Amino acid sequence: MSTGTIETGGLAGFRRPRRTARTVSDVRERHGGRRMATGITIAAAIIIVWQLARAVLLAPVFPPGLGPWGAWIAIFVILAVGVVSRIFSRAQPLPDVLYITLLAALAVPVWLDVSATWGLLHLGVTPTAAAATGAVLMPVSAIRGTRVSLVVASTIGAVLLVETLLQASSAGPYTATGITVAASAVLPLVLTVVAIRGFRRLVGRELDLSIVQSTVTTPRSPFGMRASEELAQLDFEAETLLDDVGSGRIAIPLPADEAERAGRLAAALRQRLLAGRTDTWLRHAVTESAYLSDRVVVDDPEGFAGLLAQEQRDNLLLALWLLVGERRKGQPQPIEVIVSSPDGDDDSEHHSPVVRITIEVSGVVRRRLDPSTWDAVGSVGSHDVVAGSESFRIEIECRTDPTVPVSAPAADAAHPRGM
């Protein structure tokens, strides 16, 4: 299977199919990312036009010569090249060579503008094109990474600040104007970066939830994405070993190193298959989620979570998601989910197993929980809340769907013999 590596929180080395990684990119690009990029581009255009208007107003004050227009011509050339390249490379990311070239080219308008305005701050003349380069970087940060754009904008702002401070002795009150112009080269991009990172974090969490929610429709003891990858690798190694033996490349009896390899493969297969008996959808949903894996611990040794109906599964997953979202930053204690079946429960009237779910929550202020959290918990089953000094516990007792097949251990736990 062709795979592509993506971030998965605490699961180092976990790989998802390349198609899944491509879906993540498509959602960011087409289902909101493009709208955000359009809005950022419009905001950048407004800032550039405002700086251009300042240049027109300040032009009469400049000494004879090219004035600020050399820097502005350089900016327009950079913008034209960037727009044309984006039109022709819309279906793929901006090439690295062109990206680096455009960033390096911003030094030209900055240098021309600083040279043209040097020594004129006492007249109220400040850079305009150099300050506009920060706005040029705003749509770039939406298309490519935000770190490089932020570093470049900070460098430009530092150059303008140094120019202002070196003229402070003669500029007098216009020094504050120069500092404001230097800040205007950085501040819009900082706000853009905050918005972009927040948007990407939100989209990443929602998309991760959508991907993990596919586990709610699986059988009681499914193989998750990670287990499927491990089984595929073990299957490939076993087939390679058998092919080597069958073709005569490895003699029988097996050499010591090959015998050890075969034993290791057999042990890994047995371990994986035995673990799969109790690895329910809930364990896979938590393990395979980049958002939940480091924040939720599942204790379900008998695999009773597999008895829940699809609607109960979906609401339990949503409740965990909302609880994790309310945790304080830096909270080391994860949310613990304990799934069991109460002894001595004879549900002969409904003929449906009873599953008890206990959620130990720490690092969350109960009164600040969104009402939708309790709606989700209520959709799983009847529940009680036990408050503690620094945490609280949610005890849920739910009657599972009678159409869900019950294994012998689960049936015995839900309907003890002799009762």
Q: What is the pLDDT of residues 136-166, one digit of tens each?
A: 999 888 877 788 889 999 999 999 999 999 9
Residue 212 domain flag: no
Question: Do 403 and 269 share a structural domain?
Answer: no
Residue 282 domain flag: no
Question: Do 173 and 65 share a structural domain?
Answer: yes
pLDDT tens by residue, 44-63: 999 999 999 999 998 888 88
Average pLDDT over residues 186-211: 83
Q: Is the peptide bond before 253 cis (omega within 30 degrees of 0)?
A: yes
Question: Do 270 and 344 share a structural domain?
Answer: no
- pLDDT reading at 343 higher than 80: no
Task: Please provide the average confidence, as pLDDT, over all residues in the chain.
Answer: 75
Question: Do 235 and 157 share a structural domain?
Answer: no
Q: Which of 9-13, 267-271, 309-313 has the highest mean pLDDT?
A: 309-313
Question: Do 156 and 11 share a structural domain?
Answer: yes
Domain boundaries, position 185: 3-207
- pLDDT reading at 13 higher than 60: no
pTM: 0.62
Residue 335 domain flag: yes
d(CA 17, CA 91): 21
Question: Do 114 and 63 share a structural domain?
Answer: yes
* pLDDT computed for residue 276 by the predictor: 52
pLDDT tens by residue, 352-403: 578 888 888 887 878 888 888 888 888 888 888 888 777 888 988 887 754 5
**Total number of domains constituting the chain:** 3
Residue 392 domain flag: yes
Question: Do 77 and 196 share a structural domain?
Answer: yes
Question: Do 76 and 192 share a structural domain?
Answer: yes
